[in-house]
Amino acid sequence: MASPYAQLLRTPHAWPFSLAGFFARLPLAMGGLALLLLMVDITDSYYVAGAVDATYILVGSLSAPAIAILIDRYGQRRVIGPQITIHVLGVVTLLLLAANDAPLPAFFFAAAVAGAALPVVGAAVRARWSYVLAGSPLLRSAYSWESVVDEFVFIIGPPLAAGVAASVGASSALALTAVIGASGTVAFLAQRSTEPAPQPAHGFGGPLALMYPGMPAVLVVMAMLGVVFAGVEVTVIATAREGGSVAAAGIVLALWSVSSMLSGLVIGGMQRVPPLHIQLVAGTAATSLLLAPLLVVHSLPGIAVVLLFAGAGVSPALIAGFALAARLVPATALTQALTWSSTAIGVGFAIGSPASGRLVDEISINAGFWVAMIAGVVATAAALIGLRSTAHRFTDPGETTESLPEV
């Protein structure tokens, strides 16, 4: 029998939009890191830099669900096209502010504009898969594939951003993110045949996607995963900068994504897997446990070794989270549900970035990892407790049928 991924990529017009989506998503892995490095250079404070970075991510995350409603109603091309144009203008403004020693409030404003206009391409790509594979058992593999692509974005993006920042400057790294993101987004939108048809206005009489049973618990889990990502990123950057090698931070963060990508490939290639809610609990619990050694490891090489293994729980959790969100809502709210999930990750990141930065500034560099550890525990608890009442809705023919463990 052919690999599910081989079958998936033989779907007409599939790999071109997935490939374009990869380049369009690179700013997610590069933009925040490049902005953080730029602001650290300007302010010499991880807390302030984390706050500006959090503004960029938080405003973008909070505006994304409203944008998703517009995408469902008017189509991807008519909404995302203007978005990416405004995003590029926002990045250009940030670069001009940095070149002219502008006051700090101006950076917060420009970061908010650039973040609000950054398209959530991951949700748009997943919506295309749902459109071209409607009713197909390959849809689960498609979600796994896109989670693998997400991880590959975070394998390539951080080293690229950190390397350019170290060799040329953080401003150049931020500019590069805008160029790559705009090019990928234009290529993605040019592929009209796979774009989901806009939903008529009468399809929006139901509740918001986050109001459906089970969605609040999924969103809490995704938000806590965002906090985990922020806690790890800020602390790794601080450790690398303290050691005099900013570029090394990107490599260490990429190692975390390597193990996550490999676990995602395994999950997506399996013929039978546990139910999604079990995957979510297992993924969040594994992430927490595998990150625990960071509390006692202080060297960058040691951190790299821990993260190389700790990523194994991340991708299964993300795959399950996005798949659950898609399954909990009707088709008219699909992009909205997927975007709320991405939004939750962004909100968590925006909370975790300054929180970790504060601990790094005031206690010690290693203290930032506590933020990631606590968030991982909360994510596991939310998955265990919050999804019990709706667990019966999460099993499809490709999954086994174990129930959630008692708590």
Asked if residue 205 has pLDDT above 60, the reply is no
Q: What pLDDT, on the 0 to 100 scale, is given for residue 133?
A: 80
- Count the helix, strand and coil residues of the chain and give each as a percent rounded to the nearest 5: 80, 0, 15
Query: Does the pLDDT at position 405 exceed 60?
Result: no
More confident residue, 397 or 32: 32
Tens of pLDDT along 254-311?
888 787 878 777 776 666 667 777 888 888 898 888 988 888 887 888 888 888 888 8
Task: For the chain, give the longest Cα–Cα distance.
Answer: 61
Structural domain boundaries of the chain? Answer: 13-193+208-393
Go through 141-172 and write b for each residue having 16 or more CB atoms within 10 A of its CB, e for each that does not.
bbbbbbbbbbbbbbbbbbbbbbbbbbeebbbe
61: nearest Cα among 135, 118, 123, 9: 118
Q: How does residue 206 score in pLDDT terms, banded at 50, 70 and 90?
A: low
| CATH (one of 1.20.1250.20, 3.10.50.30, 3.30.2130.30, 1.10.150.650) for 13-193+208-393 | 1.20.1250.20
Taking the model in full, what pTM does it have?
Answer: 0.69
Classify each residue of 204-237 as buried b or exposed e, where b means 16 or more C-beta atoms within 10 Å of its C-beta.
Answer: eeeeebbebebbebbbbbbbbbbbbbbbbbbbbb
> Helix, strand, or coil here: 55?
helix
E-strand stretches of 83-214? none
Residue 257 CA to residue 147 CA, distance in Å, equals 11
- pLDDT tens, residue by residue, 58-98: 888 788 878 877 887 888 888 999 999 999 999 999 999 99
How far is 263 from 269, CA to CA, in rounded Å? 10
pLDDT value of residue 203: 46
Q: Are 151 and 261 in contact (CB under 8 A)?
A: yes
Share of the chain above pLDDT 90, in %: 13
User: Are the C-beta atoms of 277 and 320 separated by less than 8 Å?
Assistant: yes
Distance CA 150, CA 164 (A): 21
Q: What counts of helices (H) and strands (E) characterise the chain?
A: 15, 0
* Alpha helix (H) residue ranges in 243-313: 246-269, 276-291, 300-310
Read off the pLDDT of residues 4-29 as tens digits, 9 standing for 90 and up. 777 777 788 888 888 898 899 888 87
Look over the chain and give the mean of its residue pLDDT values, rounded to a whole number.
81
